[in-house]
Amino acid sequence: MGDTGESDVLVVGAGPSGLFVAAELARHGVHARLVERARRPHHQARATALQPATLEILQQAGLLQQVLSSSEHLGYARVFDADLACVAELAFAGAGCPWEFQCSLPQWQTEEIFADRLAELGGRVERGVTVVSLTERPDSVVAELEDADGTVRSVEAAWVIGAGGAHSVTRESMAQELAGSTYPGSGLAADVRVSCGLPRDGSALLVSPKGSVYLAPLPHGRWLTFVGELSETEADLLARDSSREAVAAAMGRRIPAELLTLDDIGWAGVFRMHRRLVPRLADSRRFLLGDAGHLSSPFGGEGLNSGLHDGHNLAWKLALRLRGRGRPGLVESFAAERLAADQHVLEVSDRLHSLARTSVDAARNRSFPAPPPAADMLRLVRSRSMLDVSYSGSPLVSEYLAPGGPPPLTSPAPGDRYPDRTSLSGTRHHVLLFGAAPAPDVAHLRRRWSGLADVVEAAPGDPRRAGLAGDGAILVRPDGYIGFRAVPADHAGLSALDSHLGSYLVPAPAGQSATATRLARSDPGGKSLRPRASNWWRSHRCLDVSSGYGPTSGCRS
């Protein structure tokens, strides 16, 4: 598509979010046009942590093995005092997923893996291309592009995905603002080699009365470091001079050089930390992913991850819409679902940032608090791992419970991540039937949703992991979240599941292949049976926005 003036999808920015969403679209059968203004890939560490829940979606995307083999695996997050004595430890074990650790990998290597995957799927990055402006029309978006040689041209796209970072032309074209606040002070991020006695099986926050030094192992014996609580004088000096001597002096003011010696330094930069989120992640034809839509503290290690989760949520929906198999409300649900999830990520990141600052205060007082109860620690681990993100309250989530029947389990509930989602392959929905189900209804589901949903009878595994106390059915979306639960899986339950699918998907006409229809740029026929996502979000009827966790008590869409 690089030489044409039209494209179904234009992705702006070839950072992790842009590369990942382009690869995911390709996996779902949509070849997007991906442009990046930088002429060459960078070689900076930047964001390095890939959380356990992100490893699950990388497994679905066919990217996990390269990430696992290239990265350091961090099973712990520890706090050390100025003498390098461990005063607190958070273990990822028990989080409840196949990979209970973070993968630590320089961002440039993550991008390289994603770019290779995109190339395998037939895509590529057009480098040296700057998006100058975006103008929305009723049925498309016109982008003005400037090539590296100064040539300016216009291209038309049905949809535009903005993944160009905090200074996003897509966000600017939508008149959106990153609302929120900036944390006090500045920090220094750097890719370093150090001599120290720290274990390399986890990250380390070193705290002293003078501030903090964060260290996370990187491959080849290197570390990512954040030097925090910089004074204005330190920040100004390091912004001008990030030599080994200058960085070593900043670290030495916090941790004695005999305990932590800086051997060499690669990339380094002074930065400010933010807690910001746009009011809307999408309009009718433009979407925001990653830093274009939200910024969080690096202490949570979730900024890069939330951008990948944004892309994972959007790709399957947009692909179905382009194939003519999704109703308008399907794509509209992206903004509502991910805004709630990203709000939750910001709250978790803010809590971890506050814990880091509290640890510095404790070092000043020379008194570290006792660890919280084990249950609270586990909740924090799951939140930090991004395993507790839920889309409860979304118009794409519902359930059928027979009157007077046994109550289902409280977790996982519709909208929650299906714990065994990595066992489901492909890009379709899955209907998992636990126990007996009426054969005619099962046959109807298979026939009506052929090409969109695989029906699995006598589903393996423990039904309790599907949120069922006994017999029943669940619908697992292509992104691995539970979209519907039927208890029991009788005629009424499966009919309700069928109606739910019909509320946002379009069945293939009788006798027509599931992939034969293609969506024109105008909306396809048929009205969504659910409220428009934007209206649902504004109403807040089923969403507790203050917590970002999901629905208020007892509310189901």
pLDDT in tens, 58-109: 999 999 999 999 999 999 999 999 999 999 999 999 999 999 999 999 999 9
pLDDT given at position 155: 96
Angle value at C-alpha 493, between 490 and 498, nearest 5 degrees: 120
pLDDT in tens, 191-205: 999 999 999 999 999
Identify the CA nearest to 205 among candidates 354, 96, 365. Answer: 354
Secondary structure (DSSP) of 362-397: HHHHT-PPPPPPHHHHHHHHHHHTT---B-TT-TT-
**Residues in Cβ contact with 61 at an 8 Å cutoff, skipping those fewer than 6 apart:** 20, 23, 24, 27, 117, 312
At residue 532 the predicted structure's pLDDT band, cuts being 50, 70 and 90, is very low
At residue 253 the predicted structure's pLDDT band, cuts being 50, 70 and 90, is very high
Q: Tell me, which fold does domain 184-272 have in CATH?
A: D-Amino Acid Oxidase; Chain A, domain 2 (3.30.9)
pLDDT given at position 514: 42
Alpha-carbon gap, residue 113 to 122, rounded angstroms: 15
184-272 matches 6-72+99-181+275-384 in CATH topology = no
Edge-to-edge, what's the strand order for the sheet holding 482-487?
398-401, 482-487, 472-476, 429-434, 453-456
What is the 8-class DSSP label of residue 281? Answer: S
Domain ranges of the chain: 6-72+99-181+275-384, 184-272, 398-503
pLDDT in tens, 256-303: 999 999 999 999 999 999 999 999 999 999 999 999 999 999 888 889
Q: % helix / strand / coil in the chain, to the nearest 5?
A: 30, 25, 40
Please give the mean pLDDT across all residues of the chain: 90
pLDDT in tens, 356-402: 889 999 988 888 988 889 999 999 999 999 999 999 999 999 999 99
Q: What is the percent of the chain where pLDDT is above 90? A: 84
CATH of 6-72+99-181+275-384, one of 3.30.300.180, 3.40.140.80, 3.30.565.10, 3.50.50.60: 3.50.50.60
At residue 406 the predicted structure's pLDDT band, cuts being 50, 70 and 90, is confident
Could you give the 3-state DSSP secondary structure of residue 14?
coil
pLDDT in tens, 468-527: 999 999 999 999 999 999 999 999 999 999 999 999 999 977 655 444 444 333 333 333
Architecture of the 398-503 domain? 3-Layer(aba) Sandwich (3.40)
pLDDT in tens, 314-347: 999 999 999 999 999 999 999 999 999 999 999 9
From residue 343, alpha-carbon distances to 335, 509, 556 in Å are 12, 40, 20
pLDDT in tens, 36-59: 999 999 999 999 999 999 999 999
**Residues in Cβ contact with 69 at an 8 Å cutoff, skipping those fewer than 6 apart:** none
pLDDT over 60 (residue 541):
no
Give the mean model confidence (pLDDT) for residues 417-432.
97
pLDDT given at position 548: 29
Could you give the 3-state DSSP secondary structure of residue 215?
strand
At residue 440 the predicted structure's pLDDT band, cuts being 50, 70 and 90, is very high
pLDDT in tens, 447-470: 999 999 999 999 998 999 999 999
Q: Between 328-365 and 303-322, two packed helices, what is the crossing angle to 10 degrees?
A: 180
Contact 473, 420 (CB under 8 A): no
Report residue 352: phi and psi, to 5°: -65, -35
Q: What is the percent of the chain where pLDDT is above 70? A: 90
Angle value at C-alpha 281, between 30 and 135, nearest 5 degrees: 70
At residue 407 the predicted structure's pLDDT band, cuts being 50, 70 and 90, is confident
Considering the entire predicted model, what is its pTM? Answer: 0.90
> 258 burial class (0-12, 13-18, 19+ CB within 10 angstroms)?
exposed
pLDDT over 70 (residue 230):
yes
At residue 552 the predicted structure's pLDDT band, cuts being 50, 70 and 90, is very low
Angle value at C-alpha 299, between 544 and 189, nearest 5 degrees: 145
Total Cβ atoms within 10 A of residue 28:
19
